């Protein structure tokens, strides 16, 4: 049903995604959709998490191959992170917009961002002399920068290459011990 929900968002927009419409498009009864998700917000959150899991796995896969220096790691991390925005097209933002004002959205988004902060810190720790706490704080900023660059790229302000190159430069500078 999540694939069908994503297809509805792609084809018809986030506002058209309801549990009733999902049931019809997925070929199941409305009670099945309601039993599975409960609410539209729960469906949107499940979609948010599914997209995030797919992108996190792609990022981890890209980072798992071979040893790299800081510059190579930053380039790979930035390119993979920015590419996640390309891969999800407008779906990520459409789901976020559909969840606007939802208390659950804030909590889920923070949980997902915290996961990226932890991933960045674990990948960058071999290249940094910063304390774990300082590296984590900087990774919060880096992930925020990655989100902002991704959003600007999706809006057409920057190319994917420009966003990734800028993000890689920020990553390289962000793990330095200089204050």
**In the predicted model, is pLDDT for residue 45 greater than 80?**
yes
CA distances from 153 to 54, 84, 148 (A): 20, 11, 9
For the whole model, what pTM was predicted?
Answer: 0.80
The phi-psi region of residue 38 (left if phi > 0; otherwise alpha if psi is between -120 and 50; otherwise beta) is left
Domain spans of the chain, in order of start: 68-174
* DSSP for residue 15: G
| Cα–Cα distance, 55 to 71 (Å, whole number) | 22
| Cα–Cα distance, 142 to 138 (Å, whole number) | 6
CA distances from 47 to 74, 142, 169, 177 (A): 28, 25, 31, 38
pLDDT tens by residue, 66-111: 788 999 999 999 998 888 877 776 677 677 777 777 777 778 888 8
* DSSP for residue 27: T
pLDDT tens by residue, 141-156: 999 999 899 889 988 9
The average pLDDT across 121-147 equals 94
The average pLDDT across 39-43 equals 89
């Amino acid at each position: 049903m999540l694939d069908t929900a994503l297809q509805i968002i792609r084809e018809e927009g986030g506002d058209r995604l309801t549990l009733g419409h999902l049931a019809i498009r997925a070929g199941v009864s409305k009670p099945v959709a309601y039993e599975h998700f409960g609410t539209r917000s729960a469906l949107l959150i499940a979609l948010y998490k599914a997209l995030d899991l797919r992108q996190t796995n792609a990022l981890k896969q890209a980072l798992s191959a071979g040893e790299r220096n800081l510059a190579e790691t930053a380039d790979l991390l930035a390119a993979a992170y920015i590419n996640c925005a390309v891969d999800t097209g407008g779906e990520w933002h459409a789901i976020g917009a559909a969840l606007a004002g939802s208390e659950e959205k804030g909590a889920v988004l923070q949980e997902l961002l915290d996961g990226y902060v932890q991933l960045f810190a674990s990948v960058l720790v071999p290249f940094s002399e910063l304390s774990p706490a300082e590296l984590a704080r900087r990774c919060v900023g880096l992930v925020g920068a990655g989100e902002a660059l991704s959003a600007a790229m999706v809006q057409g302000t920057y190319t994917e290459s420009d966003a990734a190159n800028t993000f890689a430069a920020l990553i390289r500078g962000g793990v330095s011990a200089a204050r």
